[in-house]
Structures are given as structure tokens and as C-alpha cells.
Structure 1
Amino acid sequence: MVSNLPPERKGAITAALAGGWVADAASLGLHWLYNSERILEVGGQSPEFLPPRAEYYTKGFGYFAHEGKQVGDVSHYGAATGVLTDSLLATNGNLDIRDYQRRFRSFFGPGGQWRGFIDNPTRITLENFNAIERKAVEEAQSGMPDDLSDKQKRILVQKVMPYTRRLSGSALAQPVREAISLTYKEKAIQDAGVHLAETIDRNLVPASGADDMQLPAVSKLPPLVAAHSGSTNLLDVVEAAVRVTNHNDEAVAWAKCAAVLLDGLFRGEPLAKAMNSAIDEAPDQASLKRALESSELNGVAAGDTFGRTCYLQEAMPVSFHILNTARSYTEAIRANIHCGGDSCGRAWLIGPAMAAMHGVGGENGIPLSWLARVTDAATVYQDIESLVGN
């Protein structure tokens, strides 16, 4: 599907996108356990793909968020990445903000498919969707004809809302008119309803996200970067996508940093070059440079130095340290889990980056057995292949 990718890089990018899903699923069992000693006690030297259990969190500080999840499942980070992937697949790899917003709201909102933890930016984004919609409806209602009764106005709003939630632009008029015609045959009332729908549509805004600078701003990027790798407008596309869930300038800056890193690796640049380019976009360049000073992999020490929580100013230097010092995909993912805290969030930068460099199988790539452990693996990997164009 994504035609601007060099054919010789499609295999690496396919591996990279799979690497995010594998890393997230591998980390889920001990996600948000902050005590590294407890992680080592529970998981030993191979802490990946543990079943999520509340008993792990009885010692040391942590938060058990994944009741009901099974080995191989991904976190809410992976679920959100899947939503953006579905949107890209539906739009030939292009970012359609309205389509992405609709899918995000439908998946995570009431009655949606997601069953699991809802993080702060997702919760506030869902609230913002409702607030933006209410404001758009109020603006549209203020311009409705005076000769309509209050009852007619209420019914018209009820008629058009299902369509403004899933259609936009020129696609609105005909189905809205047909829906209204089931109740009102008068052309003037139908015209008022179409105008109402189009006014609501114009007043919906693309920057619907929370004022939040946590990892959801970065974790969804791999499929988007793959779809726009090497394009001159990559960072503009990244910013637009990030502001759907994280309407925060610092979060956008960190996302651009992550996108430049991934784009460089996807295009085959050496890690050092990709990292240097990425650092230029970072809002805290000093922390990333400090993260690169050590030549010995130590995820626990990196967490002690920079922090383990979901905030990007902590997660990005930890991720840079692991990427710079790990020799293999397996080593990187285990170091990330041993670090503790938001390992699933960091997994969506560490996993794709390591897989872009080392591929699948062999001594350094994604273990084949790990690929097979991801829930619904065949569907996940088929979507990746469709997006990349294999």
C-alpha cells in the first residue's frame, strides 16, 4: 500500500512494526511494576510474556491495570496503535484526521471494542470529543430557521448526529436528507437538517487531544512513520496525529524526536546518525545526550537516573540508553522490562527500532517464538504487510 518505501527496506519496516506488537505483549505481565528487585524476583532473567497477575504487585510499588488480560495480549498502547493502523489501511496510508478520530472514539468509547485500562489522555480525549461535538451542535442550532419548532429542531439534531459521527464533507448531504425524509417530507425542513449537519461538521476540530505529555503521544507512531517514511511532510503529519490524543507542544516535540529516529532507522540509517537527527527535535536534548554516555546496558540504572513513569521526559532517555547499548532485540526488551514502570509504553519505540536494525530471527532479531505468542498474530501481521505493501 505504501508506495514511497524503497523495496529493499520493506522487510525491515515490516519487522519493525511487528517488533512493536511483540515488545508490548512481552512486557504486559509486569507492566507498571516499579520495583526492579520485585521484577527480578518474579520474572528472573527472562521476564517476558508472563501472565498478568495481581499477586506480582503485592511487594514493591506498582499498579495492576490488566485484570483479565492473557499472555500475548497487548496493552492499551497496542490497542491504540491498532486503531491508527486501521485508519491508515482504510485511507491508502494517508492520515485522515476525521477518520482517525471516529475510529478512536468508536473503539475506546462507550459500547466500543476495548475492554481494559483507559489512560489519562484517552479518557480526556473522549471527554473532549463530546465537548467539541456539543459546542458544534450549539453553533449549528443558533443558525437554524426561526420558523422551526423546538420539537422539530430537537428531532433534526437526533437525525443528523449518527451521520456527523461517521461521515463528513460532501458525503453527508444525501444520507442526512434521506434520514430526515422518513419523518419530514417538506424540502425546507430537509434543507435545514442538511445545513445543520454540514455546520456541525465544519465546527468539529482536529486537535481533540488532552493537554498531556505522556507516552501515548509517541507509542502510536510506528505505522504512521512507516506510511510516510522519507516524505517531506512527515513531521507535519506526526504533529496532526499526535494532537488528536495529546494536544500539548512538549508532547508533539518528543513525538517528532521519536518519528525522526524511527524514520532514519526505517530508511536504513546507522543508529548513531538517526539518534543525532532525532536529538535535534527533542525539547530536552541534554537528557538524551546524557543517556548516550554509558556504553554498558543497564535498564535499571537508566530508570534510576531518568525515571520510569509514563512521562516522555523520563521514557525517552531510558529508551535511548537501551537502544544505544543493547546488542539484540531480546536483550533490549528484557532490559526494558527489568527497568520497570511503563515498559509497555516504551516498548513501542524500543521494539520497532531494534527490529528495524536486527530484523527477525537469528542471534539478534525478534525470536520467532515470540512472534507466535502475540494474540491474533496472523491478523496483526497481515495488516502490517498490507500497510507496508508486501
Structure 2
Amino acid sequence: MTDRLPEDKRARIVSAIAGGWVADAASLGLHWLYNSARITDVGGEAPEFLPPRAEYFEGVFGYFAHEGKTPGDVSHYGAATKVLTDSLLANQGTLNIRDYQRRFANCFGPGGAWQGFIDNPTRGTLNNLIATEQRAIERAFSSIHTELTDEQKRILVQKVLPYTRRLTGDQLAAPVRKAINLTYQDARIQDAGVFLAETIDQNLQPESGADDKQLPAVSKLPPLVACYLGQSDLMTHVDAAVRVTNNNDEAVGWARCAARLLERLFLGIPPAQAIEAAMELAPAPQNLSTAISDSRLNPIQAGDTFGRTCYLHEAMPVCFHIISQAPTFADAIRANIHCGGDSCGRAWLIGPAMAAIHGVGSEKGIPLSWLARVTDGADRFAELEALV
């Protein structure tokens, strides 16, 4: 936790994570529009907080993913970051993988709180969690000696799953038994149901993520870095959190690079030194070196050179270029939007980095008016204050 830090550092961290929310919301209207000329036509020099509209994408390459969203809303990246934030808050600032997995599935799965686009890593993670659950069910029934009919097995699964998806360990037995007792008073059937619940619980795999190296591996990191700031096991927890959604070695490598950058900036290390330290952990440091070597901010050229899609080997050089060259938070976010492509995904590294450097409300920091435009911003920022 960060309770050992001086107040100025705590304020920097709160501002930094808030920068992610602001940058994501600011980028949503033109997210996944790949034509920079169209972005300029639509948004001019200030393309932030535009309403998501399908008409922006007509006749040019892009993907309109956010129908129904309004200015100030965040993307699925923000929703996923909130899931991890909620889990960290519920566990006193420590990473609890099972709690994180359950909250992730309950948010993005059927009946969950999230309404909107589901990306490939999220879909793959949900599929993996369900497949692991199904294997555990089969394993449990193969070990249960009580004779059960197919109908009894189906009902036991129906009774058990709502609890295994929200509870763990010693929390399971009593409510599961009570739920089964509503239908079956036979103690043997209840015992079988408790065994089924415990087997599912014990067989959850911590590395539940899709084999994927896209931006969801990195976008959730700001609250996690805040909780383990300056601690020797930061990267261990980064690895574990990333593999919940992105079980891929290259994704973990880029996440370590991003976490190092955020950690250094959260601690107040000068940007050039923070970038240098982060590059030491990058899977492709030569690309980052090229990205930061420009003498001026040119996000469109960076997109042309490295790519604009969700893949980390394209996005990370663009992020480093903007962070190293943009003079203010607003300039960085506008540059990110003008670059095009996965601007919301990149926003969760660019926004926190620039806010850590420049703060809130100053000439170079997050504009106060932008903070006020984030949907449910008061609640989101109160959560950040509680976390830090």
C-alpha cells in the first residue's frame, strides 16, 4: 500500500490514475477510427469528449464499437480497470487473484454490469474460466460415490455455480448446503453438492487469460502499481494480474515495461529517467528508442511508423513517443486521439503518465473541466482516494 508515502506523492498517484479515466473518456468518441484525416475533419484540434457516432466512420477504415455510449463514458478498458480497482479495495490493497477473476467474470459475463463492446482477451478469458469450471464439474462427479441421477447432477450444478462464482474456501459450504436443502433434504446429496463446490473452487487456474498480446494487458496496471509502489514484489504481482486476462509472455514483458514507467513517474522520478528505466524491460527496446528520438510531437507519423492497432508492439512505441514529446496533458491526449486506432487502450498509459508528470489543474496538468466531464467521476475519484 502507499500509506507510507508523503502526501505530495499520494496526491501525485491519485492524480495519475485519474488521468487514465479522463484520457479514456476523452478518446471514446473517435476510438478505433484509423483515418487521421477524418479525425481532424470531425474533431479539429480539440477532438476530445465527442459523442460516439457511426457517421464518423462512414467511408473510411475503422470500427464503431460504442453505440449507446455518451460523452464522458469510458471504454471497456476503463471498465476492466475498475474491476481490478474494486478487487484491490475489497482486499485492503492486495492482489487476490481469485477475487479478481470472479469480479471480472461477474462484470463482463452474462448478466454482468458491463454493457458494451467485449474485446478478444476478455472473451477468451471468459471462455477459459467457463472451460476450467466445466472440467472441475466433470472431475467432481467422477469422484462422487453417491448415486445421482442426471437430473440431480444438473440441479446440483445450478445450485452450486452462483456461490462458486462469488465465494471461496470456507465461505462455500454453509450457503451451498442451505441452497441444496431447499430441494434435497438427503444429507448425501447435500454432501455431494458441497464437494462439487469445493472441487470447482480448488481447480480455478490463476493463469486464466487468453493467449493474447494486446493492450488489456497494460491498461489495468495503474491501480495495481499504486498499491505495490516501491515494493520488491511489484513485478510478481504485475505478472500475476496480467495472466488473468493475457496469458502471454510478450504481453507480460510489455506490462513490466509499462509498470516500471508508471512506478518511476508515481515516485516523482524525472520522465527521461523513468523512460530509460522502463526501456530496460521492454521486449523491443529499439522501437522505443526510435519512438522517443524525434525532436517534436508527431503522433500521426508515429502511428504510420509503428502501427495504430491494439497490439502492444505497435501501441507501446506510440505511447512512449507521445509521453516523451507532449508538453502538456491536453496536448498528449489530443495527440493520442489524432493518431487514431486504439486510442482508448493507449490512454491508460499516456493519461496516468502525463498526469503523474504534470498533476491536475495547472497549465500543463489535467484540465479541471475535463475531470468534471467523466461519467460518475465523483465516485471514480473517491475510489482512487480510498485506494491510495
Q: Give the TM-score category using the shorter length.
A: over 0.9
Deviation string, structure 1 residues 90-133 (Cα, Å, up to 9, x no partner): 11111111111111111111111211111111111111111111
In structure 2, C-alpha distance between the alignment counterparts of 1:375 and 1:331, rounded to whole Å? 22
Match for residue 221 of structure 1? 221
Match for residue 318 of structure 2? 318
Quote how far apart the aligned CAs of 1:158 are: 2.5
Q: Indicate whether 1:233 and 2:233 are aligned.
A: yes
Q: Could you say if the C-alpha distance between residues 149 and 64 of structure 1 is closer, same or farther in structure 2, counting changes exceeding 3 Å?
A: closer
In structure 2, C-alpha distance between the alignment counterparts of 1:301 and 1:309, rounded to whole Å? 14
Deviation string, structure 1 residues 238-257 (Cα, Å, up to 9, x no partner): 11111111111111110111
Aligned partner letter, 1:125: T
Quote how far apart the aligned CAs of 1:149 are: 4.1
The answer to whether the 8 A contact 1:5-1:229 is kept is no
In structure 2, C-alpha distance between the alignment counterparts of 1:308 and 1:147, rounded to whole Å? 57
Quote how far apart the aligned CAs of 1:358 are: 0.4
Aligned partner letter, 1:335: A
Q: Which residues of 2 match residues 113-192 of structure 1 at below 5 A?
A: 113-192=113-192
Quote how far apart the aligned CAs of 1:193 are: 2.2
Match for residue 20 of structure 1? 20
In structure 1, C-alpha distance between the alignment counterparts of 2:39 and 2:352, rounded to whole Å? 23
Quote how far apart the aligned CAs of 1:186 are: 3.6
In structure 2, C-alpha distance between the alignment counterparts of 1:201 and 1:168, rounded to whole Å? 6
Quote how far apart the aligned CAs of 1:134 are: 0.4
Q: Which residues of 2 match residues 290-369 of structure 1 at below 5 A?
A: 290-369=290-369
Aligned partner letter, 2:73: D
Aligned partner letter, 1:91: N
Quote how far apart the aligned CAs of 1:3 are: 2.4
The answer to whether the 8 A contact 2:146-2:188 is kept is no
Match for residue 200 of structure 2? 200
Q: Could you say if the C-alpha distance between residues 162 and 361 of structure 1 is closer, same or farther in structure 2, counting changes exceeding 3 Å?
A: same
In structure 2, C-alpha distance between the alignment counterparts of 1:140 and 1:45, rounded to whole Å? 60
Aligned partner letter, 1:47: P
Match for residue 276 of structure 2? 276
The answer to whether the 8 A contact 2:266-2:356 is kept is yes
Q: How many equivalent residue pairs?
A: 388
**Partner of 2:185: helix, strand, or coil?**
coil
In structure 2, C-alpha distance between the alignment counterparts of 1:293 and 1:188, rounded to whole Å? 70
In structure 2, C-alpha distance between the alignment counterparts of 1:345 and 1:149, rounded to whole Å? 49
Aligned partner letter, 1:99: D
Aligned partner letter, 1:217: A
In structure 2, C-alpha distance between the alignment counterparts of 1:133 and 1:229, rounded to whole Å? 34
Match for residue 83 of structure 1? 83
The answer to whether the 8 A contact 2:2-2:229 is kept is no
In structure 2, C-alpha distance between the alignment counterparts of 1:333 and 1:294, rounded to whole Å? 18
Deviation string, structure 1 residues 220-266 (Cα, Å, up to 9, x no partner): 11111111111111111111111111111111110111001001111
In structure 1, C-alpha distance between the alignment counterparts of 2:333 and 2:164, rounded to whole Å? 42
**Partner of 2:372: helix, strand, or coil?**
helix
Contiguous gaps of at least 5 residues in structure 2:
none
The two structures, once aligned, show a CA RMSD in angstroms of 1.4
Between 1:194-203 and 1:183-192, the stretch displaced more is 183-192
Aligned partner letter, 1:368: L
The answer to whether the 8 A contact 1:169-1:201 is kept is yes
**Partner of 1:373: helix, strand, or coil?**
coil
Quote how far apart the aligned CAs of 1:373 are: 0.6
The answer to whether the 8 A contact 1:358-1:364 is kept is yes
Quote how far apart the aligned CAs of 1:146 are: 4.3
**Partner of 1:41: helix, strand, or coil?**
helix
Quote how far apart the aligned CAs of 1:206 are: 1.2
Deviation string, structure 1 residues 335-388 (Cα, Å, up to 9, x no partner): 111111111100000000000010001210000110101111111111111111
Aligned partner letter, 1:264: R
The answer to whether the 8 A contact 1:2-1:92 is kept is no
Q: Could you say if the C-alpha distance between residues 148 and 35 of structure 1 is closer, same or farther in structure 2, counting changes exceeding 3 Å?
A: closer
Match for residue 93 of structure 2? 93
In structure 1, C-alpha distance between the alignment counterparts of 2:219 and 2:4, rounded to whole Å? 23
Quote how far apart the aligned CAs of 1:4 are: 4.2
Aligned partner letter, 1:346: R
The answer to whether the 8 A contact 1:4-1:229 is kept is no
In structure 2, C-alpha distance between the alignment counterparts of 1:319 and 1:41, rounded to whole Å? 23
Aligned partner letter, 2:244: V
Quote how far apart the aligned CAs of 1:310 are: 0.5
Deviation string, structure 1 residues 192-240 (Cα, Å, up to 9, x no partner): 2222211111111111111110001101111111111111111111111
In structure 1, C-alpha distance between the alignment counterparts of 2:330 and 2:236, rounded to whole Å? 33
TM-score by length of 2: 0.97
Percentage of pairs with the same residue? 68
Match for residue 62 of structure 1? 62
In structure 2, C-alpha distance between the alignment counterparts of 1:324 and 1:101, rounded to whole Å? 34
Between 1:181-190 and 1:253-262, the stretch displaced more is 181-190
Quote how far apart the aligned CAs of 1:173 are: 1.6
Quote how far apart the aligned CAs of 1:148 are: 3.9
Deviation string, structure 1 residues 311-344 (Cα, Å, up to 9, x no partner): 0000000000111111110111111111111111
